[in-house]
Amino acid sequence: MTDARTPPPQVWPTLRATDARALIRFLVDAFGFREVVVHGEGDRVDHAQLAWPLGGGIMLGSAGRGENDPWALEPGSFGAYVVADDVDALYERAVAAGADIHRKPYDTDYGSRDFLARDPEGNRWSFGTYRGEPA
């Protein structure tokens, strides 16, 4: 987590969704993201920010905002690796929320415990304990 001495994350993965409001609810319920802000009217989401409990987060919005959209990403084309402390508990939460599981929790040869899932839009999510090598 960040505090007053730690700057917020400066890399924000982004995605577009056919039903952004439903995807936000799913990411909160199934994976444990926290809704920070959602801007838009009705079903349209112009900008949303979701925080991850261990730090960082994602930004997303509704797809189909016209040919002048400078960030016209295809819904379902996103993929991310997300660090989690308790992969098995997160897996159970995701299953209970109806996540499309592509691989149950498993141990990697580099010491991580991971599982793979897709959200209702088709985006790929890999959750694991591997925190990366020190920079």
Any domain includes 69: no
Any domain includes 43: yes
The CATH code of the domain that includes 54 is: 3.10.180.10
Any domain includes 93: yes
pLDDT tens profile 92-125: 999 999 999 999 999 999 999 999 999 999 999 9
Any domain includes 91: yes
Local confidence band at 7 (pLDDT 50, 70, 90 cut-offs): low
pLDDT tens profile 66-95: 667 776 788 889 999 999 999 999 999 999
Structural domains counted in the chain: 1
Domain interval for residue 119:
14-63+78-128
Any domain includes 72: no
Specify the pTM: 0.87
Could you tell me the CA-to-CA distances from 30 to 37, 93, 118 in Å, in that order?
18, 6, 11
d(C-alpha 117, C-alpha 134), whole Å: 27
d(C-alpha 118, C-alpha 99), whole Å: 6
